[in-house]
Amino acid sequence: MTARNGNLQVLLVAYPCGLPQERDFMTADGPIPRPSDGEILIRSIFLSLDPWQRLRMRDPQQFGRQYGKPVVLNEVIPGAVIGEVVQSRNPRYREGDLVEGKLGWQNYAVSHGDSDRSNDGEGVSKVQTFGLPFSLLDVGRPRPGETVVVSAAAGATGSVAGQIAKILGCRVVGLAGSDEKITFLVKELGFDAALNYKTERDLRESLTSQCPDGVDIYIDNVGGPIADLMLALMNDWARWVVVGHLADYEKPLDQHFGVRAQGHVLARRMRMQGFIVHDYAAQFPIARRRIRQWVHEGRLRYREYIAEGLRSAPRTFIEMLNGANLGKTLVRVGPYVESVPR
Amino acid sequence: MTARNGNLQVLLVAYPCGLPQERDFMTADGPIPRPSDGEILIRSIFLSLDPWQRLRMRDPQQFGRQYGKPVVLNEVIPGAVIGEVVQSRNPRYREGDLVEGKLGWQNYAVSHGDSDRSNDGEGVSKVQTFGLPFSLLDVGRPRPGETVVVSAAAGATGSVAGQIAKILGCRVVGLAGSDEKITFLVKELGFDAALNYKTERDLRESLTSQCPDGVDIYIDNVGGPIADLMLALMNDWARWVVVGHLADYEKPLDQHFGVRAQGHVLARRMRMQGFIVHDYAAQFPIARRRIRQWVHEGRLRYREYIAEGLRSAPRTFIEMLNGANLGKTLVRVGPYVESVPR
pLDDT winner (highest mean) among A121-130, B66-75, B207-216, B245-254: B207-216
Task: Give the C-alpha separation, A110 to B43, whole Å.
Answer: 80
B104-151 pLDDT tens trace:
999 999 998 666 665 454 544 444 555 566 667 889 999 999 999 999
Provide the pLDDT for residue B121: 45
* Residue B200 to residue A313: CA distance in whole angstroms: 50
If you ran DSSP here, which 8-state letter would residue B77 be given?
P
Distance from CA of A232 to the nearest CA of B (A): 7
Alpha-carbon torsion B110, B111, B117, B123, what sign? negative
Q: Is the pLDDT of residue A304 over 90?
A: no
- Contact between B279 and A269 using a beta-carbon 8 Å cutoff: yes
Q: Which residues of A touch B230 (CB under 8 A)?
A: none
Question: In terms of Cα–Cα distance, which of B148, B177, B183, B178 is closest to B162?
Answer: B148
Residue A24 has pLDDT above 50, yes or no: yes
Cα A235 from Cα A241, distance rounded (Å):
14
pLDDT digits (tens, 9 = 90+) for B261-271: 999 999 999 99
- pLDDT over 90, % of chain B: 61
A207-258 pLDDT, tens digit per residue, is 999 999 999 999 999 999 999 999 999 999 999 999 988 888 878 888 899 9
B61 or B236, higher pLDDT: B236
Name the residue of chain B whose CA is nearest to A252's CA. Answer: B263
Alpha-carbon gap, residue A87 to A85, rounded angstroms: 6
Assess contact for B306 and B123: CB atoms under 8 A. no
Characterise A126 by phi-psi region: left (phi > 0), alpha (psi -120 to 50), beta (else): alpha
Give the nearest chain B residue to A229 (CA atoms). B254
Tens digits of per-residue pLDDT, B68-115? 789 999 999 999 888 899 999 999 999 988 888 889 999 999 998 666
Per-residue pLDDT at B286 = 81
pLDDT digits (tens, 9 = 90+) for B170-186: 999 999 999 999 999 99
Among A243, A256, A276, the residue with its CB nearest the CB of B259 is A256
Q: How many CA atoms lie within 13 A of B85 on its CB side?
A: 28
The Cα–Cα gap between B48 and B55 comes to 15
Q: Mean pLDDT for chain B?
A: 88
**Cα-trace Rg, chain A:** 21
Instruction: Name chain A contacts of B269, Cβ cutoff 8 Å.
Output: 273-276, 279
Phi-psi region at B148: left, alpha or beta (left = phi > 0; alpha = psi -120 to 50): beta
Q: Does residue A167 register a pLDDT over 90?
A: yes
> Which residue in B has a C-alpha nearest to residue A268's C-alpha?
B274
Query: With an 8 Å Cβ cutoff, are A223 and B275 in contact?
Result: no
Predicted-complex ipTM score:
0.86
CB-based burial label for A36 (10 Å; 0-12, 13-18, 19+): exposed
CB contact under 8 A, A261 and B260: yes
Position A129 scores a pLDDT of 56
Task: Write a three-state SS string for chain A.
Answer: CCCCEEEEEEEECCCCCCCCCHHHEEEEEEECCCCCCCCEEEEEEEEECCCHHHHHCCCHHHHCCCCCCCCCCCCECCCEEEEEEEEECCCCCCCCCEEEEECCCECEEEECCCCEECCCCCCHHHCHHHHHHHHHHHHHCCCCCCEEEECCCCEHHHHHHHHHHHHCCCEEEEEECCHHHHHHHHHHCCCCEEEECCCCCCHHHHHHHHCCCCEEEEEECCCHHHHHHHHCCEEEEEEEEECCCHHHCCCCHHHCEEECCHHHHHHCCCEEEECCHHHHHHHHHHHHHHHHHHHHCCCCCCCEEEEECHHHHHHHHHHHHCCCCCEEEEEECCCCCCCCCC
Q: Minimal Cα–Cα distance from B301 to chain A, Å?
A: 27
Q: What average pLDDT does range B202-219 have in this prediction?
A: 97
Q: In percent, how much of chain A has pLDDT > 70?
A: 89
B260 to chain A: which residues are within 8 Å by CB?
A: 223, 227-228, 245, 248, 256-261
Q: What is the pTM of this model?
A: 0.87
Mean pLDDT for A24-39 is 94
Among candidates A232, A274, A279 on the partner chain, residue whose Cβ is nearest the Cβ of B254: A232
The partner residue sitting opposite A262, judged by closest CB among B220, B270, B276, is B220
Contacts of A290 (CB under 8 A, 6+ apart): A134
Window from A272-281, B113-122, B238-247 with minimum mean pLDDT: B113-122
The C-alpha angle B96, B101, B104, rounded to 5 degrees, equals: 105
pLDDT at position A277 is 82
Chain B residues whose C-beta sits inside 8 Å of any chain A C-beta: 65-67, 220, 223, 227-228, 231-232, 242-245, 248, 253-276, 279
Tell me how far apart the alpha carbons of residues A273 and A253 are, in angstroms, rounded to a whole number: 16
In this predicted structure, what is the pLDDT of residue B2? 45
The confidence score (pLDDT) of residue A246 equals: 83
User: Nearest C-alpha of chain B: how many angstroms from A68?
Assistant: 8
Higher pLDDT, B77 or B302: B77
Give the residue-averaged pLDDT of A267-293: 86
Q: Which residues of A sit within 8 Å Cβ distance of B? A: 65-67, 220, 223, 227-228, 231-232, 242-245, 248, 253-276, 279
Residue type present at position A245: H
